[in-house]
Amino acid sequence: MHGPDRDFWQQRFAQRQTPWDRGAPGPRLLQWIEEGTLTGGEHVAVPGCGSGHDVLALARAGCEVVGIDYAEAAIALTRERLAQAGVEAALVTSDVLQWQPARPLDAVYEQTCWCALHPDHWVAYAAQLELWLRPGGRLLLMAMQCLRDGAAVGRIEGPPYHMDINAVRALLPAARWEWPAPPYARVPHPAGWSELPLALVRR
């Protein structure tokens, strides 16, 4: 399989080369919490949780959060962040392509884990997201928009890998997911790209 592996991400954290890290929770996540799209008591997963800002925000909102990351350095940073805040969440060092929740999830907050996976893994990852969520559960997906010139001649470049809306729709088809109508308000990303916030419901 192609794309970055666990060591790649582990080294990025160890060398503090984490340009994707906002140093704060995602602004759209905070809005979803404020709007009540995510509410206290819900069982929520954050795949590829990185240094844990989003895990902390969800735990503070009263959600029963599980942060998953296969880079031990990421999990260590998240654990430290939670301890400093005196807040609890479950943390799992695992590959998101293998992990399964003990019981179905109410929601998944997907913030730049999907775009960190080579497209060879996208079919398997989309299947995981569907399997994790209960019917009626929500996938809050920040779809990375980072189209590069090489795509015009067929190059697959990343991470981050561009999440073309047509590819996302094919992997999360309307027959199995309720899609809100576009346009979606793009959210700027610290690495210079932007993200499309998609709040989907698993049918």
* In contact, 194 and 33? CB cutoff 8 Å: no
Query: Is the CB of 91 or the CB of 168 nearer to ligand SAM?
Result: 91
Task: Supply the minimum distance, in Å, between the C-beta of residue 97 and ligand SAM.
Answer: 5
Query: Is the CB of 98 or the CB of 174 nearer to ligand SAM?
Result: 98
Task: Supply the minimum distance, in Å, between the C-beta of residue 187 and ligand SAM.
Answer: 12
Query: Is the CB of 106 or the CB of 110 nearer to ligand SAM?
Result: 110
Q: Can you count the helices (H) and strands (E) in the chain?
A: 6, 8
Task: Supply the minimum distance, in Å, between the C-beta of residue 158 and ligand SAM.
Answer: 10
Beta bridge partners of 93: 69
Structure tokens at 7: 């060591």
Distance CA 29, CA 42 (A): 14
Q: What's the number of CA atoms in the CB half-sphere (13 Å) around residue 46?
A: 28
Query: Is the CB of 21 or the CB of 106 nearer to ligand SAM?
Result: 21
* In contact, 28 and 197? CB cutoff 8 Å: yes
Task: Supply the minimum distance, in Å, between the C-beta of residue 125 and ligand SAM.
Answer: 8
45: helix, strand or coil: strand
Distance CA 151, CA 173 (A): 23
Residues interacting with ligand SAM, by CB under 6 A? Answer: 9, 20-21, 48-50, 68-71, 74, 95-97, 111-113, 116-117
Query: Is the CB of 119 or the CB of 153 nearer to ligand SAM?
Result: 119
- For residue 186, the Cα-to-chain-centroid distance in whole angstroms is 16
Residue 190 CB neighbour total at 10 angstroms: 12
Distance CA 84, CA 182 (A): 39
Query: Is the CB of 96 or the CB of 143 nearer to ligand SAM?
Result: 96
Task: Supply the minimum distance, in Å, between the C-beta of residue 116 and ligand SAM.
Answer: 4
Task: Supply the minimum distance, in Å, between the C-beta of residue 15 and ligand SAM.
Answer: 13
